[in-house]
C-alpha cells in the first residue's frame, strides 16, 4: 500500500478530494493535525462524496505519529527540490508527504531525518504551486503505475 501524507491541511475540500483519491487508488491517507477545518465539515463530506467508507484514512496528532505509520521511504514534495518525482523508483509502503496549502512544508520538516528525498513536480517558471490534491494525484498514479496498479482494473 502507498501512503499519502498531508501535513496540517487547511482546506476541507482538498482533504475530501484526497479521501476520494485514497479510495480509488487503495492508498492510505494520513492527515496530520492541526487541520484548518473540522472533520465533520460539509465541504469535506461533499468533496469525498460517498467514498468515505471505501477510503483508508488515519489522523495523527503530529508528524512523528504519521511517519511511524509508514513502513517505507518518505518523499517530501517541495518547489525547492531539484529532483523530479518521475525520477524516483517507488516501492510498496512508500509515503508521499505534502505540505499545507498556504505555505507548503516548513524547513524543519524538510530537514527531518526520516525523509528519503525531496522531490518536485515540474511546472512553468513563475508559478507558485499546483492544487494540493492535484499534486498528490499526479504522484500517486506514477507510484501506483510503477507498482503495476495492484488491485486496479
Round to whole Å and give the CA distance between 91 and 93.
6
Q: Choose among 7, 31, 5: nearest CA to 105.
A: 7
Residue 88: phi and psi, rounded to 5, are -85, 140
Number of folded domains in the chain? 1
CATH number of the domain enclosing 38: 3.40.1280.10
Residue 131 has what pLDDT? Answer: 94
Does a structural domain hold residue 122? yes
Question: Structural domain of residue 141, as residue ranges?
Answer: 3-146
Local confidence pLDDT in tens for the 153 residues of the chain: 999 999 999 998 899 899 999 999 999 999 999 998 887 767 666 655 567 778 899 999 999 999 999 999 999 999 999 999 999 999 999 999 999 999 999 999 999 999 999 999 999 999 888 999 999 999 999 999 999 999 998
Q: Within a domain: residue 151? A: no
pTM for the structure as a whole: 0.93
pLDDT value at position 39? 79
Residue 152 resides in a domain: no
State how far the Cα of 57 lies from the Cα of 16, in Å rounded to an integer.
Answer: 11
Mutual angle of helices 132-146 and 12-25, in 10-degree steps: 10
Q: How far is the C-alpha of 6 from the C-alpha of 95, rounded, in Å?
A: 10
pLDDT attached to residue 37: 83
Amino acid at each position: 500500500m502507498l501512503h499519502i501524507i498531508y501535513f496540517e491541511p487547511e482546506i476541507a475540500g482538498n482533504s475530501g478530494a484526497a479521501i476520494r483519491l485514497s479510495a480509488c487508488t487503495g492508498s492510505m491517507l494520513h492527515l496530520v493535525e492541526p487541520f484548518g477545518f473540522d472533520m465533520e465539515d460539509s465541504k469535506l463530506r461533499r468533496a469525498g462524496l460517498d467514498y468515505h467508507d471505501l477510503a483508508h484514512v488515519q489522523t495523527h496528532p503530529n508528524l512523528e505519529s504519521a511517519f511511524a505509520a509508514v513502513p517505507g521511504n518518505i518523499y517530501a514534495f517541495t518547489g525547492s527540490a531539484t529532483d523530479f518525482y518521475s525520477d524516483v523508483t517507488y516501492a510498496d509502503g512508500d509515503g508521499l508527504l505534502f505540505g499545507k496549502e498556504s505555505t507548503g512544508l516548513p524547513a524543519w520538516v524538510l530537514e527531518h531525518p526520516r525523509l528519503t528525498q525531496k522531490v518536485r513536480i515540474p511546472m512553468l517558471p513563475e508559478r507558485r504551486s499546483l492544487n494540493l490534491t492535484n499534486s498528490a494525484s499526479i504522484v500517486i498514479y506514477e507510484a501506483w503505475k510503477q507498482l503495476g496498479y495492484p488491485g486496479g482494473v
